[in-house]
């Protein structure tokens, strides 16, 4: 069945509530653990249908944010989502209070009840109206950015459409593209500030309802972080400042020398004088190369990627009205993932394809996990699959880049390393925002600039008015839409670097551990999954130093 043939309908909220309340009554009056397990499994099937319909609604909206029907269906699922969460919470409470809890624990595992515990601490039915408001504000931000119409060189472009010009070999073209982006954000600055003010206020109110000091502990619970907290993350960020920031500065000095510039500005995105490497063809070419790559990587990836093509489970073209960025979603009742991206002719096309394919591959490998909560792991564990897939496919990058392969590999490893300080900066900024919920837009922007000096010293915005005044973070959708989802990328990156090191030493064992990790889905916490994959915790300073040194050695040997 192709994506266009997938069944879709609106869940009737009242009918849903009535059916689930009946299930809860039957669950509470059940005379055995087996009866309760059967009811839980029945409810999981109901959940799978709901999540599949919701995913279709959200995906269709992302495909075309201007399609009236898609807008309405997305709005409907956003509106009922918090109420579904409330009824789900009632069922979760019943499971937690079960008189057969010992048997349920044996059936579903300890991690299942860890996740339940975090949900019960982070949800109250009083939050429903606030959750709806938060959803509406996130959608307003997404639609604002997706609706960008920027005139350049006789074309009307969206923000993703500007990206190739931002990597153009001509410095003035790059500057022009950045100025146009800067102008778009400057024009919408008041609206962006207003949306974020309201989001911070709503999230702070949610924390107050649950009697938290501020939103930070609630944000961590929402991310299902069970084996580390803000203190560990703070120490981890310090390791990035200590080991990675100097290495990134060293790479930037090398780039400055290669490009022959006296000053490096934010729009100086090139790694090579003759331009950054580009894939040697568009969407169809890249999908064809990926098909070859995945057929050779393993039988599992071969079967998976053929299915993604045959069942039309990818949307990779950039077009007007399409939501920006890339993501992977899934339809659990159909046991299928979906890859969404915006190809623009840059090397990012290949990294986003392999990245999202990593997510989709994990989702497909863990589709038979017996518990819905185990279909996906927590976000930082999810990102190990995606970021590692970027490195596990290195041996096939020549298919995409041909004579520019070595350039791509250098840019990829250097760029992945440079991402770590930026990811830590975003996280540090978010901690400050929610520690200071009454800060003004101006104070937030000043704080961003202060933190930039720590994590990205020397960053120079030239005369880009919006960006140089601390607005760069407002183009980072995660900060608006998914608070605290960002340090996850960096934690996973350190894990992915370990897979990269192992691939150079023993490809087969590295692949088998990666496959084992994917199949485990979310059946364990982040640090337990890390152990399962035979890699070390990114919170270990020794691991951090070792990874940084290995990358430094590789860059020294492979400088172009």
The tens place of each residue's pLDDT in the chain, 560 residues long, gives 999 999 999 999 999 999 999 999 999 999 999 999 999 999 999 999 999 999 999 999 999 999 999 999 999 999 999 999 999 999 999 999 999 999 999 999 999 999 999 999 999 999 999 999 999 999 999 999 988 999 998 999 989 889 889 999 999 999 999 999 999 999 999 999 999 999 999 999 999 999 999 999 999 999 999 999 999 999 999 999 999 999 999 999 989 998 999 999 999 999 999 999 999 999 999 999 999 999 999 999 999 999 999 999 999 999 988 988 899 999 999 999 999 999 989 999 999 999 999 999 999 999 999 999 999 999 999 999 999 999 999 999 999 999 999 999 999 999 999 999 999 999 999 999 999 999 999 999 999 999 999 999 999 999 999 999 999 999 999 999 999 999 999 999 999 999 999 999 999 999 999 999 999 999 999 999 999 999 999 999 899 889 989 999 998 888 76
Residue 414, both tokens: 């250097």
Contact 222, 379 (CB under 8 A): no
Q: CB burial class (10 A; 0-12, 13-18, 19+) of residue 259?
A: middle
C-alpha angle 185-79-145 in degrees, rounded to nearest 5: 15
Q: Give the contacts of 311 (CB within 8 A, at least 6 positions apart).
A: 1, 2, 3, 336
**Which residues 6+ apart lie within 8 Å of 17 measured at CB?**
83, 87
Question: Among 417, 427, 463, which Cα is nearest to 448's?
Answer: 427
Q: Strand pairing partners for 330?
A: 337
Q: Which DSSP symbol is given to 223?
A: T
How many other β-carbons are positioned within 10 Å of the β-carbon of residue 17? 15
Q: How far apart (Å, rounded) are the C-alpha atoms in residues 153 and 78?
A: 38
Contact 369, 395 (CB under 8 A): no
**Residues 6 or more apart from 112 whose CB is under 8 A from it?**
105, 371, 373, 374
Strands 336-343 and 327-331: antiparallel
Element (H, E) at 152: strand 150-152
Give the model's pLDDT for residue 230.
96
How many alpha carbons lie under 13 Å from residue 287 in its C-beta half-sphere? 18
Token pair for residue 29? 């009056």
Closest CA to 351 of 308, 391, 316, 307: 391
CA distance 360 to 442: 40
On whether the CB atoms of residues 343 and 322 are closer than 8 A, the answer is: no
Query: Closest by alpha carbon to 176, among 145, 149, 151?
Result: 151
- Tokens representing 184 are 């778009």
Alpha-helical (H) ranges within 109-223 are 110-122, 128-146, 159-166, 171-187, 189-209, 215-222
Report pLDDT for 559: 72
The whole-angstrom separation of Cα 172 and Cα 327 is 31
Q: Is residue 523 a contact partner of residue 508, using CB atoms and an 8 Å limit?
A: no
CA atoms within 13 A on the CB side of 540: 12
Please tell me what DSSP assigns to residue 32: S
pLDDT for position 184: 97
Which residue carries 């084992």 as its tokens?
516
Contact 372, 112 (CB under 8 A): no
- What pLDDT is attached to residue 325? 85
CA 124/CA 119 separation, integer angstroms: 9
pLDDT computed for residue 363 by the predictor: 98
Residue in 277, 252, 275, 246 with CA at minimum distance from that of residue 264:
252
The CA distance from 534 to 528, in Å, is 10
Q: How are beta strands 336-343 and 314-317 bridged, if at all?
A: parallel
* C-alpha dihedral, 333 to 139 to 485 to 44, nearest 10°: -20
For residue 463, count other CB atoms closer than 10 A to its CB: 10
Helix axes 299-310, 283-297, angle to 10 degrees: 150
Distance in angstroms (rounded) separating the CA atoms of residues 120 and 222: 11
Q: Looking at residue 560, what is its pLDDT?
A: 63
Nearest partner of 66 among 327, 317, 322, judged by Cα? 322
Query: What gap in Å lies between CA 88 and CA 20, rounded to an integer?
Result: 8
Q: Cα separation of 265 and 460, whole Å?
A: 5
pTM: 0.92
Q: Token pair for residue 18?
A: 């009535």
**CA dist., res. 491 & res. 381, Å (int):** 8
Q: In angstroms, rounded to a whole number, what is the distance separating the alpha carbons of residues 192 and 186?
A: 9
Integer CA distances (angstroms), 473 to 21, 226, 447, 560, in order: 43, 28, 11, 32
């Amino acid at each position: 069945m192709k994506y266009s043939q997938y069944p879709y309908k609106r869940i009737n909220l009242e009918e849903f509530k009535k059916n689930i309340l009946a299930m809860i009554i039957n669950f509470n009056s059940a005379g055995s653990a087996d009866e309760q397990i059967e009811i839980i499994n029945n409810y999981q099937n109901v959940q799978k249908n709901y999540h599949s319909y919701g995913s279709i609604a959200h995906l269709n909206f992302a495909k075309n944010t201007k399609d009236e029907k898609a807008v309405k269906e997305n709005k409907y699922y956003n509106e009922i989502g918090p109420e579904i969460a409330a009824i789900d919470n009632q069922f979760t409470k019943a499971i937690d209070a079960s008189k057969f809890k010992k048997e349920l624990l044996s059936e579903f595992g300890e991690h299942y009840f860890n996740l339940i515990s975090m949900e019960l601490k982070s949800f109250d039915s009083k939050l429903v109206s606030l959750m709806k408001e938060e959803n509406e504000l996130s959608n307003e931000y997404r639609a604002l950015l997706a609706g960008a119409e920027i005139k350049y060189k006789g074309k009307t472009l969206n923000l993703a459409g500007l990206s190739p010009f931002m990597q153009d070999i001509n410095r003035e073209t790059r500057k022009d593209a950045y100025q146009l982006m800067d102008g778009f954000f400057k024009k919408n600055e008041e609206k962006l500030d207003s949306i974020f003010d309201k989001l911070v206020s709503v999230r702070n109110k949610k924390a107050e309802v649950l009697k938290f000091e501020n939103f930070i502990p609630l944000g961590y619970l929402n991310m299902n972080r069970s084996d580390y907290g803000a203190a560990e993350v703070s120490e981890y960020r310090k390791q990035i400042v200590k080991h990675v920031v100097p290495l990134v500065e060293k790479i930037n000095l090398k780039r400055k020398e290669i490009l022959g510039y006296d000053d490096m500005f934010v729009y100086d995105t090139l790694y090579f004088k003759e331009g950054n490497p580009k894939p040697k063809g568009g969407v169809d070419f890249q999908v064809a190369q990926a098909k070859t790559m995945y057929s050779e990587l393993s039988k599992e990836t071969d079967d998976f990627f053929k299915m993604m093509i045959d069942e039309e489970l990818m949307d990779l073209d950039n077009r007007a009205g399409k939501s920006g960025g890339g993501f992977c979603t899934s339809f659990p009742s159909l046991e299928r993932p979906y890859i969404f991206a915006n190809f623009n002719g840059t090397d990012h096309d290949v990294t986003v394809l392999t990245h999202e394919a990593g997510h989709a591959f994990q989702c497909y490998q863990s589709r038979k996990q017996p518990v819905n909560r185990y279909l996906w792991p927590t976000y930082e564990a999810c990102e190990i699959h995606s970021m590692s897939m970027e490195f596990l496919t290195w041996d096939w990058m020549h298919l995409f880049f041909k004579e520019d392969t070595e350039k791509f590999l250098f840019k990829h490893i250097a760029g992945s390393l440079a991402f770590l300080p930026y990811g830590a900066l975003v996280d540090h900024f978010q901690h400050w925002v929610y520690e200071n919920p009454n800060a003004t837009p101006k104070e937030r922007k000043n704080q961003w600039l202060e933190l930039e000096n720590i994590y990205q010293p020397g960053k120079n915005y030239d005369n880009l008015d919006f960006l140089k005044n601390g607005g760069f973070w407002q183009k980072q959708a995660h900060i608006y839409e998914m608070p605290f989802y960002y340090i996850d990328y960096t934690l996973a990156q350190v894990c992915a670097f370990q897979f990269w090191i192992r691939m150079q030493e023993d490809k087969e064992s590295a692949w088998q551990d990666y496959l084992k990790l994917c199949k485990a889905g979310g059946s364990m916490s982040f640090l337990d999954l890390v152990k399962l994959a035979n890699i070390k915790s990114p919170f270990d300073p020794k691991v951090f130093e070792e990874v940084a040194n290995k990358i430094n050695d590789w860059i020294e040997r492979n400088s172009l």
